[in-house]
């Protein structure tokens, strides 16, 4: 019999944990019974009526799966290889033929991030990861979870709606060769403040001259300016650097959020090194999730393989993008202090509100946005836009 002092530690000894702020926000909003509540928290696209419908093309693909899928037997650790082949030109453009670049299916963009950081940590455990603040709140915990040091530099000036580009360049100039630069490919989350083409050129120059490893998170391709335009930075980086890691997501641009559809891409200086890196990736993935879920990727595969469905999907993507940009313009025109929102891209912008002001909007107006002031522009239904804007302007006036 063990004495109290000898008692082994167990689950009862776990310390409390601060759960992810965005997941907390979903729960809080769901629990609010006020019918007029406005959910601009987590990033999901909504139509003018406030719904997140399944894309027609995905519905058709799912129907085909129901009708014709003969087996749900394992596909293997890389998941659906054809899915990755079909994504290749969409993401890589002119680099699609470069056989030093390989991709594999992951559970969402988050799975790709974790896998990519695991790979980079295995290659160089002393590398530091430089990230611009603010960033997606899950980035720093993922970086730390693989044992890498997360180093923050200022990226965005909230009150000005502007990128702190000189600070960003100074931080990258200051990094050590082998350090990792985490960058947002497009539709910056949480600020909507994307690098211009000239700024990308400068970032790519510094990253390649300093010998940094760029890791680009591209979760919203097609939601900003267009599929090719949104991949500008990715492709420019591939022009200049031998080692590039990309975390890609289809969750948003195919609207398959809960199905978790993403991919990890690795470029190295040679076909052989890429093969070795991917062998590591496969082993790490095996230890974490063994094999990625199939359903969503199988549906995306069908859409991209069929020329007609593919064309229709491009139309659906334009519709989603157009609504994002139309809501942006409407909000931007309501008050000069909101004009910056009209110049930004993707689902998110960040309001210059204190945490107290954000909480007050929650209490008084049932408006749910992240404590940081990040809000999902396209989370607003048409009927909610004016009420939301008026409440925000009132908060800014206070
Ligand atoms: C978001 O930032 O709202 C999305 O990327 C969803 C998530 O997982 O946080």
Burial label, 165 (beta-carbon count in 10 A; 0-12, 13-18, 19+): middle
Whether the CB-CB separation of 143 and 176 falls below 8 Å is answered with no
CB of 240 sitting under 6 A from ligand 1: no
Residue 349 CA to residue 161 CA, distance in Å, equals 9
Which residues are part of the catalytic machinery? 136, 217, 219, 252
351-371 in b/e burial notation, b at 16+ Cβ within 10 A? bbbeeebbebbbeebbbbbbb
Segment 57-73 shows an average pLDDT of: 97
At 131, list the tokens: 């990230």
**Residue 348: per-residue pLDDT:** 98
**Residue 160: per-residue pLDDT:** 79
Residue 198 CA to residue 132 CA, distance in Å, equals 18
Residue 136 CA to residue 187 CA, distance in Å, equals 12
**Residue 3: per-residue pLDDT:** 62
Residues of the chain with pLDDT > 90: what percent? 94
Averaged pLDDT score across all residues of the chain: 96
Residue 171 CA to residue 55 CA, distance in Å, equals 41
Residue carrying structure tokens 């809501």: 327
Q: Other CB atoms closer than 10 Å to residue 140's CB: what's the count?
A: 17
**How far does residue 10's CA lie from ligand 1's centre (Å)?**
32
Give, in order, the Cα–Cα distances in Å from 120 to each of 76, 82, 182, 351, 364: 23, 25, 12, 34, 46
Residue to mutate, 107, 136, 220, 248, ligand 1, most ligand atoms under 8 Å from C-beta: 136
Max Cα-Cα span within the chain: 73
The dihedrals phi and psi of 74, each to the nearest 5 degrees, come to: -60, 145
Give, in order, the Cα–Cα distances in Å from 195 to each of 1, 170, 219, 230, 279: 64, 15, 15, 10, 33
**Residue 193: per-residue pLDDT:** 98
The answer, yes or no, to whether residue 308 has pLDDT greater than 80, is yes
DSSP 8: P
CB of 22 sitting under 6 A from ligand 1: yes
Segment 76-97 shows an average pLDDT of: 97
The answer, yes or no, to whether residue 4 has pLDDT greater than 80, is no
**How far does residue 67's CA lie from ligand 1's centre (Å)?**
33
Which helix (H) or strand (E) segment holds residue 295: the answer is helix 295-305
Residue 214 CA to residue 26 CA, distance in Å, equals 32
CB of 248 sitting under 6 A from ligand 1: no
The answer, yes or no, to whether residue 334 has pLDDT greater than 80, is yes
The answer, yes or no, to whether residue 129 has pLDDT greater than 70, is yes
At 186, list the tokens: 């497009």
**Residue 41: per-residue pLDDT:** 94
The 10s digit of each residue's pLDDT in 11-33 is 999 999 887 888 889 999 999 99
CB of 223 sitting under 6 A from ligand 1: no
**Residue 128: per-residue pLDDT:** 98
**Residue 20: per-residue pLDDT:** 83
**Residue of 334, 355, 344 whose CA lies nearest to 377:** 344
**Residue 7: per-residue pLDDT:** 79
**Residue of 87, 86, 101, 112 whose CA lies nearest to 239:** 101
The residue contributing the CA closest to ligand 1 atom 2 is: 43
**Residue 23: per-residue pLDDT:** 87
**Residue of 6, 9, 25, 37 whose CA lies nearest to 391:** 37
Please, which pLDDT band fits residue 158 given cuts at 50, 70 and 90? confident
Q: Cα torsion at 139, 141, 143, 149 (round to 10°)?
A: 120
CA atoms within 13 A on the CB side of 393: 15
Residue to mutate, 19, 21, 22, ligand 1, most ligand atoms under 8 Å from C-beta: 22
The 10s digit of each residue's pLDDT in 100-119 is 999 999 999 999 999 999 99
pTM for the full predicted model:
0.96
- From the centroid of its chain, how far is CA 377? 15
At 303, list the tokens: 């859409």
Q: Are strands 367-368 and 38-39 parallel, antiparallel or unpaired?
A: parallel
């Amino acid at each position: 019999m063990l004495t109290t002092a000898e008692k082994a530690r167990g689950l009862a000894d776990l310390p409390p944990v601060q759960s992810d702020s965005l997941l907390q926000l979903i729960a809080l909003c769901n629990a609010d019974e006020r019918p007029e509540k406005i959910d601009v928290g987590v990033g999901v696209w909504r139509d003018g009526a406030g719904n997140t419908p399944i894309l027609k093309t995905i519905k058709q693909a799912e129907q085909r799966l129901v009708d014709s899928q003969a087996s749900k037997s394992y596909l293997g650790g890389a998941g659906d290889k054809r899915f990755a082949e079909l994504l290749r030109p969409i993401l890589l453009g002119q680099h699609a033929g470069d056989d030093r670049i390989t991709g594999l299916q992951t559970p969402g963009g988050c799975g790709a991030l974790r896998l990519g950081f695991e790979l980079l940590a295995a290659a160089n455990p002393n590398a530091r990861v430089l990230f611009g603040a603010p960033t997606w709140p899950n980035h720093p915990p993922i970086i730390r979870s693989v044992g890498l040091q997360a180093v923050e530099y200022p990226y965005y000036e909230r009150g000005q709606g502007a990128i702190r580009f000189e600070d960003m360049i100074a931080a990258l100039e200051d990094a050590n060769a082998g350090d990792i630069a985490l960058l947002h490919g497009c539709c910056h989350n949480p600020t909507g403040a994307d690098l211009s083409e000239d700024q990308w050129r400068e970032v790519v120059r510094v990253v390649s001259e300093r010998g940094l490893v760029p890791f680009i998170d591209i979760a919203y391709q097609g939601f900003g300016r267009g599929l090719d335009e949104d991949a500008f930075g990715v492709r420019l980086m591939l022009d200049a650097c031998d080692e590039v890691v990309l975390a890609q997501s289809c969750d948003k641009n195919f609207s398959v959020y809960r199905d978790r559809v993403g991919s990890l891409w690795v470029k190295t200086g040679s076909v052989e090194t890429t093969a070795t890196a991917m062998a590591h990736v496969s082993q790490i993935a095996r230890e974490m999730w063994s094999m990625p879920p199939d359903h969503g990727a199988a549906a995306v595969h069908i859409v991209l393989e069929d020329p007609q469905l593919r064309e229709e999907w491009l139309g659906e993507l334009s519709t989603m993008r157009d609504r994002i940009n139309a809501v942006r313009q409407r909000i931007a025109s309501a008050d000069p202090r909101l004009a910056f929102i009209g110049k930004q891209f993707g689902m998110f912008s960040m309001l210059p509100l204190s945490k107290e002001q954000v909480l007050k909007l929650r209490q008084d107006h049932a408006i749910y946005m992240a404590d940081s002031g990040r809000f999902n522009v396209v989370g607003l239904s048409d009927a909610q836009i004016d009420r939301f804007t008026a409440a925000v302007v009132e908060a800014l006036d206070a």
